[in-house]
Structure 1
Amino acid sequence: MSDLQISLVIIGVVVIVGVILFNKIQLARYHRRIQEGFRHDHDDVLLDVEHVSVATGERIEPQFGDETLASADDELVHNADSEHILTELPSDDDQVVQDEEVSEERVNEVIVVDDAIHYVVDIRSDSLIPHEKLVDLLQQKFDYGKPVRWYGLGSKSAWEEISLDTIDSQSDYVQLKGGLQLVDRSGLVTEINLSRFRDMVEEFASQLGAEANCPDIVDAYARAIDLDKFCAEVDILVGVNIISKDGGAFVGTKIRALAEASGFRLESEGVFRYRDDETNEVLFSLGNFESAPFLPSNMRTLTTHGITFLLDVPRVARGEKVFDQMIHIAKLFSSTLNGILVDDNRVPLSENGMRKSRQRLIDIQAAMIAYDITAGGEAALKLFN
């Protein structure tokens, strides 16, 4: 073995011994720290309840020493005579009564069907409504020209919306509420359909020996006329178009790439939609300025001379903020596509023009609030559908 090999062996042995010694020193230090951690030179607040101190603002659980318990006994005996603070634990029978009361409270919860936009009827039965009768009733929900919604109260359950998809042969409903919507975007319900709906409900209740409460048809139709007139006044779309500055065309692949990068999704109706992350409701959309829809199958070959951003005013909450967001994205598109923002007549949009559109949107949504219909709310989404 050469001198070099011997030197390397010696160095290796020294290194190994050094590592072993280092590990032993570290282990000894670790054990010493553990022992010090368990050496109690101070009071333990968990083991010694007689010397517990509480820092201001901290939460603690109650601690009871012998003296505390004794004084508490005296005070509670006194209070039991004067203020009835102490009560006996409920017996099993008492607990059953309490459970029944809770169940009754749950059964008596009131379901609110918005009579501002519905003709609301009520059916009360002394016995369970037969499943086959319920099926017959629900099968007629599309027979009156406007949406019909039914809600049921079970004998031991709370109110719930019901449909053919949700009921089964074990359903135990004893009360029903139905709402025939008065207005949607296609217009108002006819007086004839209101009468037909009322007559159907009364006949249904009669067959069950149940009680039916149906409001006056003339009053309901008058409300429908007023509601339809108001909805027509506020049913507005705010639109912004982008066309090419030089009269050229935009290619579908670039439009799609920009849209998806901005958060739009291409949906089945041939438009891109920008949806709220929490509610999934549409905030605004992006469509073709020309007649051809945007479809996955044609975006590679499609060309167009313009695109359109649309905001459905009554269906969007906080409209001015959504408008600002839409305009911001439209400007990004315009810059990237070398386009220009124009109105429906291809007249360039100025900042002043966009401010006027924004203010009109604010005025419309304020008018809706004054009419007790909030833009983007549940009632608005039903009316403007």
Structure 2
Amino acid sequence: MSNLQISLIVAGALVIIAMLIINWWQERRFHRQVEDSFSPIKNDALLDDALPSEVLPSDAIIVEPDFEEPSSTYSTTDKYPADDFKIDSVLFESARSEPSFSDTNDRYVKLPQSIGGEADLPDEVSIEAAYDDIINTKLERLSTHEPDMVITPQPNTNVDEIKEIFTDVLQPVKPLVAPESHINQKVEAMPDLSLPSMLHGQMDLTAVLYLASTVSLSTLNNTIDILFEGFDKPVFVHVLGVSNRWSLLQDFSPTSELITKLACSMQLADRGGAASRGCLNRFQLAVETLGQAISGQIEWQSTEDALAKANSLDAFCIDVDKTIGFHLVHGENGAFTGTKLRGLAEAQGFALGANGRFNYIAQASNADPSQPSFVMFNREDYPFNPEMLRTSVVKAITFQLDIPHVKQCAEAFTQMVQVAKQMEIGLHAVLVDDNNKILGDIQIEKIRQQLKVIQATMLVRGIVPGSDSARRLFS
């Protein structure tokens, strides 16, 4: 080790020792300052005990203060001339006098021989009797000097009126029912002026056209066919006849009925994306042109920015447009035959569709027979058909559920899992995910929770999974 290194080590050690000494000295000085600031109290007359007689010196002289008893003839009128009341001398003297205790019965007290202004009492009376006599005397004096302060209760002459008031209040409240004739008149006077049930405020840009006079269907067809062509988003034209029923323009019948109102709407987004600014401007221009052509007053149903609304709807679609699926792959026994697969599928409730997929239709009474709850198809992307199933073997099949298109999608997912497990046993197959990892109950429960989150998100937006609006939006 060189001399330079030794010198550096020694210098570092000295610096550390110096810092420790300085810190110790500063801490000691701080403690002294604190002790000086909070020095203990040497003597406390309230907390210290009295000195015992042994501690006092023998020649100490104890001086007791000589208090003069105040005279009872002290007059307050001279010092306070404004006070015009008198102090009862008897009460004052009795308050100053010290009570004398004797061995006699404590239920009797010795009263003064004479009490100014009070009734004469015998030498020994009971406390109760003396108290009653004094109270009675005081009451007599008050009634003599202040007769106006005596309150005489007056008989209540309004008892019956008060009872009637409380009787009305405590009666049970009767429900307010309007006369039936008024209800019928109101219903007849207010026809249904709502928008067509097909339209959705979160999905469509809608304008209502109020016609100055009724027009025929042929007049509208000639104008509308030219204005609403070539849009990349769905456009709907509803008409309202004199019967106050909304219908699509192409479904309106009878053709001879006159039209009183129109509703023109364009869907703001679909699975192809959001409507562009140019598309929105073109639609608004077409509606304005139609209004001028038929002399109609236009009322747009939303004041929000249409482009921002379309982009927001498209972002929502991206978040919830999900499909849930898993697969059955062949096990140790090898691929399963198509005939066996079809037999098990039909036994579970599947039906082979024209698109080469097995569709599962829910058995609920409100289920739409045209909309399957979930589907099963060949994982190798070869559509199923009767001839193929009869002559081929299948290595893997896929179960899939389209969340936006299925009502009660949580229950449909549970049903799909049960069907898949039944077919897993019948085909001696293995249930796996997209990465060919075995799918257990824990993984299935995680998928179910994700599905519930997506369903809740759609409900908050006002678009119910499986509804006509949801199917139109996610088409």
Q: TM-score, normalised by structure 2?
A: 0.56
Match of 2:284 among 173, 198, 212: 198
Match of 1:143 among 208, 226, 230: 230
Letter in 2 for 1:174: T
Name the residue aligned to 2:472: 382
Letter in 2 for 1:344: D
1:222 aligned onto 2:308: yes
Q: TM-score, normalised by structure 1?
A: 0.68
Q: How much does 1:109 deviate? A: 5.3
**Greater Rg over alpha carbons, structure:** 2
Q: For residues 264 and 175 of structure 1, do their structure 2 counterparts lie closer, same or farther at Cα, with a shift above 3 Å needed?
A: same
Question: Match of 1:125, SS?
Answer: strand
- Higher RCO (Cα < 8 Å, 6 or more apart): 1
Match of 2:299 among 171, 192, 213: 213
Aligned length: 290
How much is the aligned-residue C-alpha RMSD, in angstroms? 2.8
Question: Match of 2:340, SS?
Answer: helix
Equivalents in 2 of 1:285, 1:86: separation in Å? 55
1:309 aligned onto 2:399: yes
Percent pairwise identity: 31
Which runs of 5 or more structure 2 residues have no equivalent in the other structure? 1-177
Equivalents in 2 of 1:353, 1:232: separation in Å? 23
Name the residue aligned to 1:322: 412
Question: Match of 1:164, SS?
Answer: helix
Residues 1-385 of structure 1 aligned to structure 2 (within 5 Å): 105-106=190-191, 108=193, 111=196, 113-136=199-222, 137=224, 143-155=230-242, 157-214=243-300, 219-246=305-332, 248-277=334-363, 278-280=366-368, 281-385=371-475
CA contact (8 A) 1:131 1:168 kept: no
Which runs of 5 or more structure 1 residues have no equivalent in the other structure? 1-84, 91-97
CA contact (8 A) 2:208 2:301 kept: no
CA contact (8 A) 1:195 1:217 kept: no
Q: For residues 86 and 290 of structure 1, do their structure 2 counterparts lie closer, same or farther at Cα, with a shift above 3 Å needed?
A: closer
CA contact (8 A) 1:141 1:149 kept: no
In the TM superposition, what whole-angstrom CA distance separates every residue of 1:318-346 from its partner, at most 9, and x where no partner exists?
Answer: 22211111000000111101100011121
Equivalents in 2 of 1:128, 1:185: separation in Å? 38
In the TM superposition, what whole-angstrom CA distance separates every residue of 1:45-76 from its partner, at most 9, and x where no partner exists?
Answer: xxxxxxxxxxxxxxxxxxxxxxxxxxxxxxxx
CA contact (8 A) 2:227 2:286 kept: no
Equivalents in 2 of 1:251, 1:163: separation in Å? 51
Question: Match of 2:388, SS?
Answer: coil
Q: How much does 1:143 deviate? A: 2.8
CA contact (8 A) 2:328 2:424 kept: yes
Letter in 1 for 2:287: V
Equivalents in 2 of 1:152, 1:356: separation in Å? 47
In the TM superposition, what whole-angstrom CA distance separates every residue of 1:189-245 from its partner, at most 9, and x where no partner exists?
Answer: 222122111111111121111122346898111101011011101111110100011
Question: Match of 1:126, SS?
Answer: strand
Q: How much does 1:374 deviate? A: 2.2
Letter in 1 for 2:398: T
Q: How much does 1:314 deviate? A: 2.1
In the TM superposition, what whole-angstrom CA distance separates every residue of 1:167-199 from its partner, at most 9, and x where no partner exists?
Answer: 443131110112211111121122212211111
Equivalents in 1 of 2:462, 2:355: separation in Å? 32
Q: For residues 121 and 358 of structure 1, do their structure 2 counterparts lie closer, same or farther at Cα, with a shift above 3 Å needed?
A: same
Name the residue aligned to 1:78: none
CA contact (8 A) 2:329 2:429 kept: yes
Name the residue aligned to 2:56: none
Q: For residues 138 and 266 of structure 1, do their structure 2 counterparts lie closer, same or farther at Cα, with a shift above 3 Å needed?
A: farther
Q: How much does 1:248 deviate? A: 2.1
CA contact (8 A) 2:228 2:283 kept: no
Question: Match of 1:282, SS?
Answer: coil
Letter in 1 for 2:336: F
Letter in 1 for 2:367: T
